């Protein structure tokens, strides 16, 4: 038997067409026509009245309209990316709360200041939510919180009980701001009630979780310059109402933060709120004042959590490279999000790894048995050994040295959490040098490209002036490839 006939004999038989449809080859299905057909065949619903059916169909039509709009926007973005010329591609890596998103804001501030300023107003809602969540944490502690030790009525002063009542409207404010800013799945029922510790006993940050592709900044920016006839973004009025409540609660929030019972409770629960990302309660008089507008430092300090992977297009406005287009990829750092990093390793020019030097006494929120510094070492080892990154320039930022300095000066012993440090001085400079040596050693032992240099910077991403110097050196390396004068250390 000829080979062609053997192959034909081995081929699967065509499936019979369902009754009434005939042969699929003779009667091809027009998928576009199928998608546009509306309403779809109605299911049989017992006891459905004509009015109920019409409401159901209208809800289905609205869902289809929303879905079509989302798909059209995704396709538009895809086509724009295909047409876009990218001169430099940078990826920011590191665990959650390492400062990646703050470093990204510094890139915008340094190289695209006009675009940065255009978005400043949008950050007020994030800062407001950071502020309100810190108040909710404190109220949760006072009410017993995760510790189960309620500082109940007999132990609370009349003033403390009054503050609990007068600040209770902020729970509604938290829910409103969460709905406006966050992924709806993250702002579902219960999102407005913030526990100060998670199920593992770790202190929660004041971060705002925003879904990938969220347009919250553009919505706010568009409204800020809108004509009276232009439609407000959904939920905007609710956000403005929330702001009025925050302003009305300003004095009571300040009184709460200054109250001796609060300070005692924080110490008893081993919570140092001032070291948490997005903490604004110590500046509540300014933040909650009528007419407040965020400063550059406020925007850099605001805490927002990246969910998934976000590509940010930066068109340089200043320097000799004005007009060039940089792609900066910001990735979520939580454990469950790290698998999404690998597809974005292709065509990268530079990798900037942020390791929070201050996290030596903290554990992962996902796993309280894992020290955050140890986790940074493990991620760094994996990144250095990746063959996909063998031709990529590496920058290591030992970030949050300001918080490290404050912790050490407050009496926290580095050697108690990092035993290999032994009897060395409990001071910022020797600790930073120790960490630099450890990361450098891992790099040398695991790097795929032994000709590749590693350059380390000690950074405080919330310090715009100091970080601008680091970014200047990074820019010089990108376009000259000369590291001799680029290293600040």
**Angle subtended by helix axes 216-224 and 236-248, to nearest 10:** 80
Q: Determine the Cα–Cα distance for residues 171 and 1; give it in Å rounded to an integer.
A: 79
Q: DSSP strand E in 141-291: where?
A: 208-210
144 and 228 together in one domain: yes
Closest CA to 342 of 331, 327, 354: 331
Overall domain count for the chain = 2
Q: Any idea what DSSP says for residue 202?
A: P
181 and 224 together in one domain: yes
For residue 204, give both structure tokens.
């929660």
**Domain ranges, residue 388:** 84-112+316-480
Task: Determine which helix (DSSP H) or strand (DSSP E) holds 430, and give its type and residue range.
Answer: helix 428-446
Q: Which domain-ending residue is among 259, 278, 301? A: 301
472 and 335 together in one domain: yes
Q: Determine the Cα–Cα distance for residues 26 and 102; give it in Å rounded to an integer.
A: 59
Q: Which domain-ending residue is among 301, 330, 350? A: 301
395 and 464 together in one domain: yes
Q: What pLDDT score does 210 carry?
A: 62
Helices then strands, counting H and E runs in the chain, come out as 19, 8
CB 314 within 8 A of CB 105: no
Residue 1 lies in a domain: no
Residue 377 lies in a domain: yes
For the stretch 166-173, contacts whose Cβ atoms lie closer than 8 Å and that sit 24 or more positions apart, written own/partner, are 166/249, 166/252, 167/135, 167/139, 167/249, 167/252, 167/253, 167/256, 169/245, 169/249, 170/132, 170/135, 170/136, 170/245, 170/246, 170/249, 171/136, 172/242, 172/245, 173/128, 173/132, 173/242, 173/245, 173/246
Closest CA to 126 of 282, 306, 266: 306
Q: Determine the Cα–Cα distance for residues 252 and 135; give it in Å rounded to an integer.
A: 10
201 and 108 together in one domain: no
Q: Any idea what DSSP says for residue 233?
A: P
CB 324 within 8 A of CB 316: yes
291 and 144 together in one domain: yes
Residue 30 lies in a domain: no
434 and 382 together in one domain: yes
Q: How far apart are the first and last CA of the chain?
A: 77
Residue 456 lies in a domain: yes
347 backbone φψ class: left, alpha, beta (φ>0; ψ -120 to 50): left
457 and 364 together in one domain: yes
Q: DSSP strand E in 58-153: where?
A: 88-93
Q: Determine the Cα–Cα distance for residues 287 and 291; give it in Å rounded to an integer.
A: 9
302-350 pLDDT, tens digit per residue, is 988 767 778 888 899 876 778 889 999 988 767 777 777 777 888 888 9
CB 136 within 8 A of CB 260: no
Q: Which domain-ending residue is among 237, 271, 301? A: 301
Q: What pLDDT score does 111 carry?
A: 92
Residue 236 lies in a domain: yes
Residue 486 lies in a domain: no
Q: What pLDDT score does 233 carry?
A: 61
Q: Determine the Cα–Cα distance for residues 325 and 315; give it in Å rounded to an integer.
A: 5
Q: CA-CA distances (angstroms) from residue 82 to 79, 100, 105, 254?
A: 5, 26, 25, 51
What is the value of pTM for the model shown? 0.73
* Ranges of the chain whose pLDDT falls below 50: 3-4, 6-40, 146-154, 184-196, 200, 222-230, 482-489
Q: Find all residues with CB under 8 Å of 429, minimum gap 6, and list them.
A: none
Residue 129 lies in a domain: yes
Q: DSSP strand E in 18-168: where?
A: 88-93
Q: DSSP strand E in 416-467: where?
A: 454-458
364 and 224 together in one domain: no
423 and 463 together in one domain: yes
Question: Residue 411's domain is classified under what CATH number?
Answer: 3.40.50.300
356 and 449 together in one domain: yes
CB 398 within 8 A of CB 458: yes
360 and 287 together in one domain: no
Residue 451 lies in a domain: yes
């Amino acid at each position: 038997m000829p080979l062609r006939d053997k192959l034909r004999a081995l081929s699967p038989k065509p499936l019979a067409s369902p009754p009434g449809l005939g042969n699929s080859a003779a009667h091809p299905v027009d998928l576009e026509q199928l998608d546009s057909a509306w309403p779809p065949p109605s299911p049989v619903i017992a006891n459905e009245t004509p009015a109920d059916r019409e409401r159901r169909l209208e809800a289905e039509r609205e869902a289809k309209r929303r879905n079509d709009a989302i798909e059209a926007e995704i396709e538009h973005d895809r086509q724009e990316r295909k047409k876009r010329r990218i001169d430099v591609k940078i990826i920011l890596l590191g665990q959650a709360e390492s400062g990646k998103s703050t470093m990204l804001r510094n890139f915008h501030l340094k190289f695209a200041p006009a675009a940065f300023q255009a978005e400043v107003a949008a950050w007020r809602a994030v800062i407001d939510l950071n502020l309100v969540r810190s108040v909710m944490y404190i109220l949760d502690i006072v009410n017993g919180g995760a510790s189960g030790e309620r500082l109940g009525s007999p132990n609370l002063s009349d003033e403390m009980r009054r503050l609990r009542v007068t600040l209770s409207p902020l729970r509604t404010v938290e829910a409103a701001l969460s709905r406006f800013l966050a992924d709806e799945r993250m702002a579902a029922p219960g999102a407005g009630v913030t526990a100060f510790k998670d199920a593992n006993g770790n202190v929660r940050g004041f971060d705002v979780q925003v879904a990938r592709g969220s347009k919250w900044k553009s919505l706010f920016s568009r409204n800020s310059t809108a004509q009276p006839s232009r439609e407000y973004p959904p939920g905007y009025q609710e956000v403005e109402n929330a702001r009025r409540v925050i302003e009305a609660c300003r004095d009571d929030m300040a009184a709460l933060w200054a109250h001796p019972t609060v300070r005692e409770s924080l110490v008893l629960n081993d919570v140092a709120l001032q070291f948490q990302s997005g903490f604004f309660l110590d500046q509540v008089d300014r933040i909650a004042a009528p007419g407040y507008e965020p400063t550059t430092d406020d925007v850099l300090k605001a805490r927002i959590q990246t969910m998934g992977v976000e590509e940010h297009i930066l068109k340089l406005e200043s320097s000799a490279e004005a007009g060039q287009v940089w792609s900066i990829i910001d990735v979520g750092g939580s454990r469950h999000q790290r698998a999404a990093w690998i597809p974005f390793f292709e065509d990268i020019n530079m990798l900037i790894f942020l390791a929070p030097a201050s996290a030596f006494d903290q554990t992962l929120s996902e796993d309280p048995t894992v020290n955050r510094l140890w986790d940074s070492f493990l991620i760094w080892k994996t990144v250095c050994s990746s063959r996909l990154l063998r031709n990529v320039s590496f920058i290591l930022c030992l970030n949050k040295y300001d918080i490290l300095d404050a912790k050490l000066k407050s009496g926290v012993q580095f050697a108690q959490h990092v035993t290999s440090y032994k009897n060395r001085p409990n001071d910022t400079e020797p600790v930073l040098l120790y960490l630099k040596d450890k990361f450098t050693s891992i790099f040398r032992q695991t790097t795929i490209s032994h000709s590749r240099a590693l350059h380390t910077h000690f950074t405080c991403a919330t310090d715009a002036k100091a970080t601008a110097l680091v970014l200047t050196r990074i820019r010089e390396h990108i376009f000259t490839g000369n590291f001799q004068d680029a290293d600040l250390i």
